Amino acid sequence: MLHIPTEIAAEFLNNIYAHSMWEIAGLLGILFLLLRLKHIKSKKKASNIPPEVQPEPEEPEEPEEAGPDVMPIGIKDRLQTGLSRTRHAFTGRIFALFEENTAIDETTMEEMEEILITSDVGMKTTMALTDTIFKKGKGLSGPGKVYELMKDEIRSFLKPGQIILPDQKPFVIMVVGVNGVGKTTTIGKLATLFSAEGKQVLLGAADTFRSAAAEQLEIWAKRSGAEIVMHRENSDPAAVAFDSVEAGIKRGADVVIIDTAGRLHTKVNLMEELKKIRRSIAKRLSGAPHEVLLVIDATTGQNAISQARQFHDGVGVTSIALTKLDGTAKGGIVIGISNEIGIPISYIGVGEGAKDLQPFDPDAFVDALF
C-alpha cells in the first residue's frame, strides 16, 4: 500500500477543497445572472402588452352641431380642405396676378382668362365672367377688391338644388352616370345622410350588368341602415326598378334611391336602357322618378359638361352630384357646369368619408375657394 505523508495529504485535500469552492462559486454566479436576466425579460414582456389586448382609448366626443341656420362644426373645414388643390391653382394664381396692386385692364384680363380656362371653368363661362369683371371692375386695383368682385360674380353663376324630401312617400331618386364616377358610393352616402335625418331609405340595385355592383350597394345598405331590393346578376334593370318602387310603397319608405348602369355589356344603347327604367318607375308610381340625379367625376374636366348634356338629353337630369373635387386642382368645373348646363348642383364630394358628400352651398363654396 502506498503511504502518503500526513502533511502532503492534508495539503492536497486543502487544494482540492479550495479549487472546488471557487468552481461552485463561479457556477452559482452564472446561475444567479441567468435567473436575473430571465426575471428582467419576463418583466419587460409583461409591460409590452399587445395592442389587441390593451384597452382601446375612448373615442373623442363628436362636436356639437350648430343651429339650423349655421353650418355644422367641421363641414366648413372639410370643404376648405377638399378644395385646397383648386384654391392653390385657381385663387392663388389670381392673388399673385393682383398682389402688386395691378389694376384691372386688358392685359390682366387676358392672364385671368388663362387661369380660368386652365382651372376647367370652360371657355363660354370664362368669357362671360371676365367680360363682366372687366366692365364692373375697370380701374379697381389690389387683390382684395378684385376678390370681392369675383366672388360676387361667381356666386351669380352657381345654381344650387339641394334635394329636400317632401311629405309624399316614397320620394324616388333615379341615379345615373357612367361607370367609375363614384355613383354607387354616392348613393350609399346619400342613404347615410337621409338615415341620419330619421328617414326610412330603400335602395334599388338596378345596375345588374356590372359585376359586384349589387354587392357593393348591399354593403352600403347595411352601413346606413337602409333596406335593399336585389335581383340576380344580368336581370332586367327595369324590373328591379319597378320592384324597388313597389317595395318602397308597401314598406312605407320615405325615399327610394335606384342605382343604374353606367355602361352596358350588350348591344343595347345605354340611354335607351335608362329611358326604359324611367318608364318602369313611372308605371308603378305616377310622377316618379321625382329626381334624376347625375353623378359626375370632377377630375374628368370639360368631359363632365359633355356627359351632363348627353344624360340630360336622354333622361332629363334634374340635379347633379359632383364627386372627387378633393382629387383635382380644376374645381372650376363647378362654375362651368352650373352656368353652361343650367342644371342645379345638389351635392359635392370633397373626400372619402360619408360626411364629405355635402349639400351644395354656393356661399360656402365660394368662401372656401377664396
- Note the pLDDT tens digit of each residue in 178-236: 998 999 999 999 999 999 999 999 999 999 988 889 999 999 999 999 999 999 888 99
- Residues in Cβ contact with 245 at an 8 Å cutoff, skipping those fewer than 6 apart: 170, 172, 204, 256, 258, 281, 284, 285, 288
Grid cell locating 13:
485535500
Residue 346 has pLDDT above 90, yes or no: yes
Q: Could you tell me the pLDDT band of residue 355, with boundaries at 50, 70 and 90?
A: confident
Q: Kindly report which listed range (7-11, 42-46, 238-242, 326-330) carries the lowest average pLDDT score.
A: 42-46
pLDDT given for residue 167 in this prediction: 80
- Residues in Cβ contact with 82 at an 8 Å cutoff, skipping those fewer than 6 apart: 325, 326, 349, 350, 351, 356, 368
d(CA 201, CA 171): 10
d(CA 330, CA 83): 9
Q: From the CB of residue 162, how many other CB atoms can be counted at a distance below 10 Å?
A: 13
171-369 CATH, one of 3.90.1300.10, 3.40.1190.20, 3.40.50.300, 3.40.50.150: 3.40.50.300
Residue 13 has pLDDT above 60, yes or no: no
d(CA 366, CA 370): 6
3-class secondary structure per residue, the chain: CCCCCHHHHHHHHHHHHHHHHHHHHHHHHHHHHHHHHHHHHHHHHHHCCCCCCCCCCCCCCCCCCCCCCCCCCCHHHHHHHHCHHHHHHCHHHHHHHHCCCCECCHHHHHHHHHHHHHCCCCHHHHHHHHHHHHHHHCCCECHHHHHHHHHHHHHHHCCECCCCCCCCCCEEEEEECCCCCCHHHHHHHHHHHHHHCCCCEEEEECCCCCCCHHHHHHHHHHHHCCEEECCCCCCCHHHHHHHHHHHHHHHCCCEEEEECCCCCCCCCCHHHHHHHHHHHHHHHCCCCCCEEEEEEEHHHCCHHHHHHHHHHHHHCCCEEEEECHHHCCCCCHHHHHHHHCCCCEEEEECCCCHHHEEECCHHHHHHHHC
Residue 43 has pLDDT above 50, yes or no: no
Grid cell locating 281:
318607375
Relative to beta strand 291-297, strand 345-349 is unpaired
* Biggest alpha carbon–alpha carbon distance for the chain: 135
> Structural domain boundaries of the chain?
75-157, 171-369
Taking only the tens place, the pLDDT of each residue in 257-302 is: 999 999 876 667 999 999 999 999 999 999 999 999 999 998 888 8
d(CA 86, CA 90): 6
Taking only the tens place, the pLDDT of each residue in 230-254 is: 998 889 999 999 999 999 999 999 9
Residue 20 has pLDDT above 50, yes or no: no
User: Which residue in the block uniquely carries the three cell numbers 370643404?
Assistant: 79
Q: Which amino acid is at 218?
A: E
User: Which residue in the block uniquely carries the three cell numbers 472546488?
Assistant: 20
Q: Could you tell me the pLDDT band of residue 22, with boundaries at 50, 70 and 90?
A: very low
pLDDT given for residue 342 in this prediction: 87
Considering the entire predicted model, what is its pTM?
0.76
Grid cell locating 36:
436575473
Residue 311 has pLDDT above 90, yes or no: yes
Grid cell locating 92:
392663388
d(CA 293, CA 313): 14
- Per CATH, the homologous superfamily of domain 75-157 is SRP54, nucleotide-binding domain (1.20.120.140)
What residues pair up with 172 in beta bridges, in sequence order?
256
pLDDT given for residue 29 in this prediction: 52
Name the more confident of 281 and 64.
Answer: 281
Residues 81, 351 contacting (CB under 8 angstroms): yes
Please give the average per-residue pLDDT across 146-155, as a whole number: 88
pLDDT given for residue 130 in this prediction: 92
Grid cell locating 221:
345598405
Instruction: Count Cα atoms within 13 angstroms, Cβ side, for 81.
Output: 10
What residues pair up with 204 in beta bridges, in sequence order?
229, 258
